[in-house]
Structure 1
Amino acid sequence: MVISCNQKYSRNLAPNEITAEMILGNNNYQAICYGGYRTNTREVQPTIDEIIEDLKILAAINIKVLRTYNVHYEEVSNLLKAISKLKKEDPKFEMYVMLGAWIDCKNAWTELPPIHNEESSRNAIEIEEAVRLTNQYPDIIKIIAVGNEAMVKWATSYYVTPTIILKWVNHLQDLKKQHKLPKSVWITSSDNFASWGGGDAEYHVEELNQLIKAVDYISMHTYPMHDTHYHPVFWGIKENEQKLSEKEKIDAAMLRSRDYTINQYESVVKYMKSIGVNKPVHIGETGWATQSNEHYGTDGSKATDEYKSAQFYNLMREWTTKEKISCFYFEAFDENWKDKANPLGSENHFGLINLKSEAKYVLWNEVDKGTFKGLTRNGKPITKTYKGDTKALWLDVKTPTSILKN
């Protein structure tokens, strides 16, 4: 069983009147994770004009909600300025933001041991700026997310205990009651499914239960691609699939990947209900990289290529649309600052469009339809990867080698 947001008809309303409750779970408002960085460092901020290029591309494929991750770079303020500029030019232009405030623990990203039950002094500054931006752009910012994978324990460099996230969620909810934030802004935290109670019992603590009660909805992450290496119970070819074509074998594996995601989603819903809570659960992140020279590539689980990535994207959009779940797919464009020491690292290759302004296989049909006609990125028209040669693409598609029992 899945939980979907109560949809309300939101057309013909002014931007200030459109709320998160109307957007989340509404199939007319498809969502995606956005980063506009073009270089291998975040010291070079995407300009307003560059972001406008991106927004036009995303709007062309009916994306209307963007997720960001922090407020301490100019990227977010430039994004909000870019959206405002497009709205002034065209009052019918719609783009809304789930604004992320980065949260981490004391001594995070330093040579000192991280102290997970104490927080960085930077957190208060992030929250303050998130509040300021939300009040400045109430027509655009509809959701504030406190932290990104900030509670999951494998984030050893920076994770915090749920108490710290709860503190800031309660702070923002109190500001709404005091009319110091728009009352319709929804507050959440965006974290791994396990952090929301869908995994190991070590996460099932009273502070998490209080957090689940405090947020307006749960924003959960699920990444079967990573678990093709770390927990490959679904990844491989079943014994009775051995005589299938290579494409059929891969398609079957991708269906199991989708089902793995559904199981993680449902595990969060189950835990939430077990503590007497019933509120919307949406997907704050999921995605599938197209390249990796590490655990997920040719020498590993053989998971990453443009065909499998396209299959996962389409399966996720199909399922979440049917169930009226918002899915902030990760991510719109490749960004290579995330693993600048390893250009072929998977973290650099989650986008639907690469840094050469080429649409990956998942969007080839949009190129064929002329969806991107007249649009550019970095001044380049949007073309196809592999020059549109399907045979060339399939040379990079590898079949999983592990055998699963029926």
Structure 2
Amino acid sequence: MTRLQLPLDNAICYSGYREGQDPGRRLYPSVEQIREDLHILSRHWRLLRLYDCSLHAERVLQVIREDGLPLRVLLGAHLAAEVNNPGCPWGGHHAVETLAANRRENDAEVERLVALAGRHRDEVFAVAVGNEATVDWTDHRVPVERMIEQVRRVKAAVAQPVTVCENYVPWRDSLDALAAELDFISLHTYPVWEYKPIDEALDYTRANVASVTARHPGLPIAITEAGWCTASNGRGMHAEHAVPELQAIYCRALMGWAREAGLPCFVFEAFDEPWKGSDDPLEPEKHWGLFTVDRRPKLLMQPLYPDLA
């Protein structure tokens, strides 16, 4: 059997929510806002990762096609919690009725994934069933057996390769049965979330990838999230580590190593997203972009986008 060859090019995670917009409230970026974003990104990037099959994703794929942009998409399906997770520190308990409704909505989301992948075969190069749905701390836990069911459903219906996006830890500990169903593994690695200083960060990422490769030697691997925060109140990381200078150092080293290793690597993420996390303006979830929320390049991107600085 020929080993799957994943595309190797500059890759980035894209979620275009601006001030006042929120996927949870279905307040989506407009087509023109998405068009502005994609024309910015397509100057340097060729691969995008999308997280769900909402109107946001539909509009992204629409703009890529209408404008003939040289962008290809890893299209994701967002799966909501189907079981409670007492291990989640920020709210892993849900009412029985909510879990039942989530299960129905997850089935509908997978249907949307199949439909969008079918309509956009030129734009969508692979699909991902779920994002961080099995890791110990997730607030949207989905049982592994149910993940396998959804992966099988998608693989039977789409032409593209199928993956699941997850933190590196479960891939090396508890997801052998799920991995066996996939065309490739997608892992996430965040040294700054694990209090690693910058001089240990890339080695830590490399070790994360190596541990998953050793566990699943027959499967291709992609990094579908890796990045560095640029502002923080200290929750989950050392606040002094969350600065643009360290983002530039880590991401530059990350992309260089991934290129040399022939490893697809999606940098997290394109733009800061104010809707994420707590109301604290220094909530770290809000500050992972290589660009600010007003589309100004941070330090790493300024040499490539001097006109936007």
Do Structure 1 and Structure 2 share a fold, with TM-score over 0.5?
yes
Q: How does 1:232-311 map to 2 (within 5 A)?
A: 235=196, 253-273=197-217, 278-295=218-235, 300-311=238-249
Structure 1 equivalent of residue 87 of structure 2:
none
Amino acid of the residue matched to residue 43 of structure 2?
Answer: A
Structure 2 equivalent of residue 126 of structure 1:
109
SS in 2 for 1:359: coil
State which structure, 1 or 2, has the greater radius of gyration over its C-alpha atoms. Answer: 1
Q: Kindly provide the CA deviation profile for residues 249-300 of structure 1, in whole angstroms up to 9, marking residues without a partner as x.
A: xxxx423111011111111111113xxxx12111011111100113367xx4
CA distance in 2 between counterparts of 1:117 and 1:269 reads: 36
1:168 and 2:150 matched: yes
Tell me if the contact between 2:255 and 2:265 (Cα under 8 Å) persists in the aligned partners: yes
Amino acid of the residue matched to residue 231 of structure 2?
Answer: Q
**Alpha-carbon offset, residue 326 of structure 1:** 0.6
Structure 2 equivalent of residue 57 of structure 1:
40
CA distance in 2 between counterparts of 1:31 and 1:70 reads: 17
Structure 1 equivalent of residue 64 of structure 2:
83
Q: CA RMSD in A?
A: 2.4
SS in 2 for 1:144: strand
Q: Kindly provide the CA deviation profile for residues 350-391 of structure 1, in whole angstroms up to 9, marking residues without a partner as x.
A: 0011023321001121134xxxx4xxxxxxxx11xxxxxxxx
Q: Kindly provide the CA deviation profile for residues 10-53 of structure 1, in whole angstroms up to 9, marking residues without a partner as x.
A: xxxxxxxxxxx5543x2xx2111001111243233111111111
Amino acid of the residue matched to residue 38 of structure 1?
Answer: R
Amino acid of the residue matched to residue 203 of structure 2?
Answer: D
Tell me if the contact between 1:34 and 1:66 (Cα under 8 Å) persists in the aligned partners: yes
CA distance in 2 between counterparts of 1:23 and 1:95 reads: 15
Go from structure 1 to structure 2 and tell me whether the alpha carbon gap of 1:100 and 1:314 turns closer, same or farther (over 3 Å shift): same
SS in 1 for 2:303: helix
Amino acid of the residue matched to residue 280 of structure 2?
Answer: N
CA distance in 2 between counterparts of 1:116 and 1:124 reads: 13
Go from structure 1 to structure 2 and tell me whether the alpha carbon gap of 1:358 and 1:118 turns closer, same or farther (over 3 Å shift): closer
**Percent identity over paired residues:** 28
Amino acid of the residue matched to residue 156 of structure 2?
Answer: D
* Structure 1 unpaired stretches of 5+: 7-20, 88-92, 176-180, 198-202, 229-234, 236-252, 374-381, 384-406
CA distance in 1 between counterparts of 2:30 and 2:273 reads: 15
Tell me if the contact between 2:244 and 2:300 (Cα under 8 Å) persists in the aligned partners: yes
Tell me if the contact between 1:118 and 1:160 (Cα under 8 Å) persists in the aligned partners: no
Tell me if the contact between 1:117 and 1:164 (Cα under 8 Å) persists in the aligned partners: no
TM-score relative to the length of structure 1: 0.69
Structure 2 equivalent of residue 37 of structure 1:
17
CA distance in 2 between counterparts of 1:354 and 1:362 reads: 12
Structure 1 equivalent of residue 128 of structure 2:
145
Go from structure 1 to structure 2 and tell me whether the alpha carbon gap of 1:340 and 1:47 turns closer, same or farther (over 3 Å shift): farther
Go from structure 1 to structure 2 and tell me whether the alpha carbon gap of 1:107 and 1:193 turns closer, same or farther (over 3 Å shift): closer
TM-score relative to the length of structure 2: 0.89
Amino acid of the residue matched to residue 355 of structure 1?
Answer: V
Q: Kindly provide the CA deviation profile for residues 115-162 of structure 1, in whole angstroms up to 9, marking residues without a partner as x.
A: 99997221110100011111111110111101000110111x221221
Go from structure 1 to structure 2 and tell me whether the alpha carbon gap of 1:352 and 1:67 turns closer, same or farther (over 3 Å shift): same
Tell me if the contact between 1:70 and 1:101 (Cα under 8 Å) persists in the aligned partners: yes
Structure 2 equivalent of residue 200 of structure 1:
none
1:188 and 2:168 matched: no
Go from structure 1 to structure 2 and tell me whether the alpha carbon gap of 1:340 and 1:82 turns closer, same or farther (over 3 Å shift): farther
Tell me if the contact between 1:116 and 1:161 (Cα under 8 Å) persists in the aligned partners: no
* Structure 2 unpaired stretches of 5+: 85-91
1:99 and 2:75 matched: yes
**Alpha-carbon offset, residue 59 of structure 1:** 1.2
Structure 1 equivalent of residue 89 of structure 2:
none
